[in-house]
Structure 1
């Protein structure tokens, strides 16, 4: 048995007392910072105190928090611990415009959307450096068009890139199958995809469709498309092409809320590209039988996209379109059916992205990336990471 020396015993005693003092020592955190954290989390003061009762005495400055309490507070409200000691309030913003829905409201900030964007951006920054260092061929079509490019020409180019003809969706059984095929084609073209309906793997932090349907994060080496997997499959299909059009334009942006078309010039352009790609004019004229449901089943696009296309082409009268809209707008948004749980690892493939995961695995194997960094980038740790990479990628 190894005996501790007297000096060693004193050291352990001192360390223990120091840790105790750190745990009970009161730290000075300004009420303005605490209020900023509450606002950042999208809560009222009352709701925040209800969730974390100690906060009440901190705001009134009757008491100050201990280190342990403050760490619990930062974890509870998803704020970096170091922020709490800054002299000035941090300034955070999503690095591109969000359109429509709640996300498009002026001065609106949603923490779940922000953290999701920052997570994707961190992956993109690592990827850009990795792809450059290893001279790996990347996406060729970012910034290849402008809003002066005709819609028909933009769609023609995108069809060539994705190797999909105008009736590509007709042979597929479901919108789910269409999303899967389109995603594969985009990844083959060098786009990195993420599908997720929560922040990372935290099922308590859901991404509302009203806050984020999807976004495009432009980068010539590692362009990203994010799709909210809580959305309907037909809506996800539209999002994929809408965001692909953003990449072709070289303009990062996101959208949320209503399926309706937007009036902002770039957004409307991307909407029109998506509509023509998914529901080509020539094909719709040929198969139109005044039945939006039938056409929706064939194109795999939503009934709203079909109706708008039919109306714009004069195939549906103003009266019929208004009648359709009255009924459609009163429907509850179709929530995705909850599965019996599904495979965690199959879900993780969507959340991490297969192409991204392959590069991470290769970087670790080549000792260009530590396991610690790989865990951080994928959100998977230890044996879970090992199993994911070994059996699913």
Structure 2
């Protein structure tokens, strides 16, 4: 088979884009060094395999220069040196997939005469975070210290996801690209993103992150819906980027989870505790990570104290994750990955003939019997195809 002449520049770009080096690929592609140097060229079959390995559309290799793959939304980073960074194929594909879901949901709701959600973009970044947090709780039907009614913070997290979904906001929690378990989403690149829309706002939480961090990410994203800005963010150490809206969302999220007045009231009784963050976490039904971050926000502890706790927390989390088996309840998993409300809308449309089943499968990432099994579990039954 004849060789295909490709640009060394494009090949090097594809490797950087996929966060790979020549050494990563040399076992599968023994001539990779020769290709990058331009001394030899791959066959079409080899190029197809290389495109798959680097998660690069095959057609890109035939372009004159690398394409501009900027994200459709801002990507805020806590530690940003201003240098341009190439987003990963995983993040790009995930955002595009969620945009596709959102666009379909928006059109479906509008076709049914759904009114715009009144709380979207309803507050300003300069408003008092207590006011913003109160508005967020009102929309979800929560009181000031709402989470204290639940036996644990994980139950409170589950309840908040359900309330957000009931309010008309799509919530997706996933740690991989599509159904490809070999393509894990990196929390170091992004903890989540939000796509703001008056009819179908969508929150995406990186399921590869710890559950403790997911709680804050979800609240931060919810604040974005009220303040009105779509964005992705990494929230390193649960700290925002140097952006007014990001900081406003962080303040509102913190107040939503742990109200300042309530924490100041109990702090004198817990600060002498050997594990004060554990005591705060138990009281407010949040994770110890959220409790520690809130204490830092209110200057109840120093930055050194926070990062000492934060680093030890990360170490403990990584140790606990080692050797942990994957898996879970099928219906619960799909409620996270697809969303009960979104899946119900899709299943209804397919059953009524407004949507082809092939399109329903693509929208949900569930195919054939798997789609119908989930539809049955959420009360939709098995529609005739």
What TM-score bracket applies, with the shorter chain setting the length? 0.7 to 0.9
Shift of 1:269: 0.7
TM-score (norm 2): 0.86
Higher deviation after alignment, 266-275 or 294-303? 294-303
Question: Which of 140, 151, 171 is the aligned partner of 1:173?
Answer: 151
Instruction: Report the equivalent of 1:20.
Output: none
> Is the Cα contact below 8 Å between 2:153 and 2:287 reproduced in 1?
no
RMSD after superposition = 2.6
In the alignment, structure 1 residue 155 sits paired with structure 2 residue 133:
yes
- 2:363 and 2:229 mapped to 1: Cα distance? 24
- After superposition, where does 1:85-124 map in structure 2 within 5 Å? 85-100=62-77, 106-108=83-85, 109-124=87-102
Q: 1:182 to 1:327 in 2, by over 3 A?
A: closer
Q: 1:303 to 1:340 in 2, by over 3 A?
A: closer
In the alignment of these two chains, the number of paired residues is 367
Q: 1:347 to 1:273 in 2, by over 3 A?
A: same
Higher deviation after alignment, 75-84 or 219-228? 75-84
In the alignment, structure 1 residue 329 sits paired with structure 2 residue 307:
no
Question: Which of 73, 77, 81 is the aligned partner of 2:54?
Answer: 77
Shift of 1:225: 0.4
SS at match of 2:146: coil
Q: 1:312 to 1:165 in 2, by over 3 A?
A: same
SS at match of 2:109: helix
Shift of 1:47: 2.0
- After superposition, where does 1:1-393 map in structure 2 within 5 Å? 24=1, 26-61=3-38, 63-100=40-77, 106-108=83-85, 109-262=87-240, 263-288=242-267, 289=269, 290=271, 291-310=276-295, 313=298, 316=300, 318=302, 322-333=304-315, 334-335=317-318, 337=321, 338-339=324-325, 341-392=327-378
Could you report, residue by residue, the CA deviation over 1:324-374 in whole angstroms, capped at 9, with x for unpaired residues? 543433443524753462234532331112211112112212222222222
- 1:384 and 1:196 mapped to 2: Cα distance? 17
Q: 1:101 to 1:310 in 2, by over 3 A?
A: closer
- 2:234 and 2:148 mapped to 1: Cα distance? 27
SS at match of 1:332: helix
SS at match of 2:229: coil
- 1:257 and 1:243 mapped to 2: Cα distance? 11
Higher deviation after alignment, 157-166 or 46-55? 46-55
- 2:61 and 2:113 mapped to 1: Cα distance? 41
SS at match of 2:93: helix
- 1:277 and 1:225 mapped to 2: Cα distance? 17
Larger Rg: 1
Could you report, residue by residue, the CA deviation over 1:47-70 in whole angstroms, capped at 9, with x for unpaired residues? 233443354454455554444333
> Is the Cα contact below 8 Å between 2:171 and 2:204 reproduced in 1?
yes
> Is the Cα contact below 8 Å between 2:216 and 2:238 reproduced in 1?
no
- 1:317 and 1:75 mapped to 2: Cα distance? 49
> Is the Cα contact below 8 Å between 1:102 and 1:257 reproduced in 2?
no
Q: 1:384 to 1:52 in 2, by over 3 A?
A: farther
- 1:45 and 1:237 mapped to 2: Cα distance? 38
Which blocks of at least 5 consecutive residues in structure 1 are unaligned?
A: 1-23
- 1:234 and 1:114 mapped to 2: Cα distance? 25
> Is the Cα contact below 8 Å between 1:238 and 1:301 reproduced in 2?
no
- 1:324 and 1:72 mapped to 2: Cα distance? 47
> Is the Cα contact below 8 Å between 2:78 and 2:239 reproduced in 1?
no
TM-score (norm 1): 0.84
Could you report, residue by residue, the CA deviation over 1:155-197 in whole angstroms, capped at 9, with x for unpaired residues? 1211110110112111212222111100111111110011011
- 2:26 and 2:79 mapped to 1: Cα distance? 25
